[in-house]
C-alpha cells in the first residue's frame, strides 16, 4: 500500500472534522451541552479522545464552530454582494435560499435549533452572534427604511421572527408544513 498524498490526507482530515461536528451536534441536541462530554463525542465518532483535540481545543470551540458555520451559511445568502445594501433581488434570493436550505435537511436543522436554543450555548456564543447578526439586522432595517416603512425596526423583527417560526415549525413537521407556499407569502408580504 502506497503512502497517502498530501491531498488525500487533507480530504481525510476534512471528512473526520465534519464527522466530529455532526456527532457533537447530535449529542448536544439530544443530551444538552452541559451533559455532553468530549469523551462521549469521541466515542460516538469512533475516535480517540486525544485525536479529537487535534481538531478542536475544547467543547466550547466545537459548539462555536458548529453554530457559527451554520449562521455563516445564512448570512452569506443575505446581501450576496456584501455591499451593505439589500436590494429587492437579494431579499428574494435570501428568502428562496433560506427555504431551500431548510427543506434540504430538516433533521439537521432540528438538531441545530435544539443545540442553539440551550441557554448555556447562547451564553458561550453571545459575542459571536452579536457580531455576526447585528450587521445583517441593520441592513434589513435600512432596506425597510428605504422602502418607506414607518417602523423599519419592527418590520425587520417581524420578518426574522416569521422566518424563525417557519423554521421551527417545519423542522418538527416537514411533511405537514407547506414551506414553498409560505416562502411565496413571505415574498408577497415582506418584500
Domain ranges of the chain: 6-190
Burial class of residue 142 (count of CB atoms within 10 Å of its CB; 0-12, 13-18, 19+): middle
User: CA–CA separation, 97 vs 154, rounded Å?
Assistant: 23
Which fold would CATH assign to domain 6-190?
Tetracycline Repressor; domain 2 (1.10.357)
- What pLDDT is attached to residue 165? 92
pLDDT in tens, 52-61: 999 999 999 9
Q: Is the pLDDT of residue 1 over 60?
A: no
- What pLDDT is attached to residue 144? 96
- What pLDDT is attached to residue 47? 92
The C-alpha cell at 51 is: 485525536
37-48 mean pLDDT = 94
Whole-number average pLDDT of the chain: 88
pLDDT in tens, 56-80: 999 999 988 888 888 887 778 888 8
Amino acid at each position: 500500500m502506497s503512502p497517502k498524498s498530501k491531498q488525500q490526507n487533507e480530504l481525510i482530515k476534512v471528512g473526520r472534522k465534519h464527522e466530529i461536528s455532526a456527532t457533537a451536534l447530535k449529542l448536544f441536541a439530544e443530551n444538552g451541552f452541559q451533559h455532553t462530554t468530549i469523551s462521549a463525542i469521541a466515542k460516538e465518532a469512533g475516535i480517540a479522545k486525544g485525536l479529537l483535540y487535534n481538531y478542536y481545543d475544547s467543547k466550547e470551540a466545537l459548539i462555536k464552530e458548529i453554530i457559527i458555520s451554520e449562521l455563516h451559511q445564512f448570512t452569506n445568502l443575505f446581501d450576496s454582494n456584501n455591499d451593505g445594501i439589500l436590494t429587492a433581488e437579494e431579499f428574494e434570493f435570501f428568502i428562496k435560499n433560506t427555504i431551500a436550505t431548510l427543506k434540504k435537511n430538516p433533521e439537521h436543522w432540528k438538531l441545530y435549533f435544539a443545540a442553539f436554543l440551550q441557554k448555556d450555548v447562547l451564553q458561550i456564543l453571545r459575542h459571536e452572534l452579536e457580531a455576526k447578526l447585528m450587521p445583517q439586522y441593520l441592513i434589513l432595517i435600512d432596506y425597510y427604511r428605504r422602502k418607506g416603512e414607518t417602523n423599519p425596526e419592527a418590520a425587520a423583527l417581524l420578518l426574522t421572527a416569521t422566518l424563525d417560526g417557519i423554521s421551527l415549525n417545519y423542522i418538527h413537521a416537514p411533511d405537514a408544513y407547506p414551506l414553498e407556499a409560505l416562502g411565496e407569502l413571505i415574498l408577497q408580504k415582506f418584500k
